[in-house]
Amino acid sequence: MPRSLHARGCVPLVGACLAVLVAACVPADEALPLGAAQFTITGRGSPRTFPDDRVVDGWSIHVDRFVLSFRTMTIVNLKDSNQCAYRGRGAKTNVVFEGTLGTVVQAFNGLKPGDCPDVGMRLGPPDDESVPGEGATAADLVALANGTPSHALLEATAVRKAQPPFTTEDETMHVSLRFDSVRTASSFGGCRDAIRGARIRPGARYGVFVAVAAEAFFRDAISSNAQLRFDPFADADRRGNDDGIVTMDELDDLPLFAAGGPFYMLPNGSRSGSFGDYVRAQFMFAVNYGEGGLCNGIVPGTEEP
């Protein structure tokens, strides 16, 4: 009897020891209690050709290329530094890609289940680790790195149909804008839709799309529901070299108060500065997150390391 009792008492001890040994041998990324987050970054936050009912001044606007220099997503819980510490791959990717065609996918594996409410995104000029991604070329990296380093290039075509007897031919203009990282938001935080950040579940992957919307630069107010206009862009070129190609230098030469319309104001409500300042400021409100959500742009120069 004493032997039998002793044997029965050893069974749970042996089981516990085996469980500890097994748990110690399971790689962190394969541990069943852990989860993951996956972010798909695109430049398709708005249609390539903007709907006619959104563009209210008679122009048709089509995005030809939207090149983005992506650095990394960030995923943390500011109240608990251990909660969202990933145990697998999640290093920055540093990819320059053509956002209307391609995507960048970044995954953070081995996350402890729970809320990771503080999600952000960082863009930035190409560096020594940057590589061309989908739709981009080495020439795009050079274009972004030369001069004042930049993290986005936008090329678009706008057409206004002839309106006889006032005009007898269609008018076509091109846009070539370079968003430098000194004056344009490149860091974004507070990403949320119905859920703030990401919610990690055991053995599951939390997937979300992060999409930059090129339409933001043509909004006639600081609002995602604002109407779209091209007339100020055309006016800037006519006041400039009038070659049919709108550049950021020409937008910088157009005073904001001359853009027309009552709602062309900077985020602080000011109408001082240039129309270029206004277009760059719209980048702060151009990042869509998940289902109907957004990420907030951080004022350039105020980002935390």
How far apart are the C-alpha atoms of 260 and 4, rounded to whole Å?
93
Characterize the bridge pairing of strands 114-116 and 198-200: antiparallel
Contact 100, 152 (CB under 8 A): no
Residue type, 67: V
Cβ atoms of residues 149 and 180 within 8 Å: yes
Cβ neighbour number for residue 2 with a 10 Å cutoff: 6
pLDDT of amino acid 305: 54
Neighbouring residues of 297: CB distance < 8 A, sequence distance ≥ 6: 185, 187, 188, 283, 284, 285, 286, 287
- Can you give the length of the chain in residues? 305
Say how far apart CA 281 and CA 285 lie, in whole Å.
8
Residue 70: count of CB within 10 angstroms of its CB? 26
Radius of gyration for the alpha carbons in the chain, expressed in angstroms and rounded: 25
* Residues β-bridged to residue 72: 122
pTM: 0.86
Tell me the DSSP string of 87-145: SS------EEEETTT-EEEEEEEEEPSEEE-EEEEEE----TT-EE-TT--HHHHHHHH
pLDDT at 17: 37
Task: Tell me what pLDDT residue 298 has.
Answer: 94
Q: The tokens 């409100």 sit on which residue?
A: 285
Would you state the pLDDT for residue 88?
57
Phi, psi of 281 (to 5 degrees): -65, -30
Predicted local distance difference test score (pLDDT) of residue 153: 98
Torsional sign, CA 257, 262, 263, 269:
positive
Q: Both tokens of residue 258?
A: 């001359």
The first and second tokens of residue 218, run together, are 């043509």
Residue 165 preceded by cis peptide, ω within 30: yes
What is the pLDDT tens value at each position of the chain, 305 positions in all? 443 334 344 334 334 333 333 333 434 444 448 999 999 999 999 999 999 999 999 999 999 999 999 999 999 999 998 889 876 555 557 999 999 999 999 999 999 999 999 999 999 999 999 999 999 999 999 999 999 999 999 999 999 998 888 888 999 999 999 999 999 999 999 999 999 999 999 999 999 999 999 999 999 999 999 999 999 999 999 999 999 999 999 999 999 999 998 899 999 999 999 999 999 999 999 999 999 999 999 988 776 65
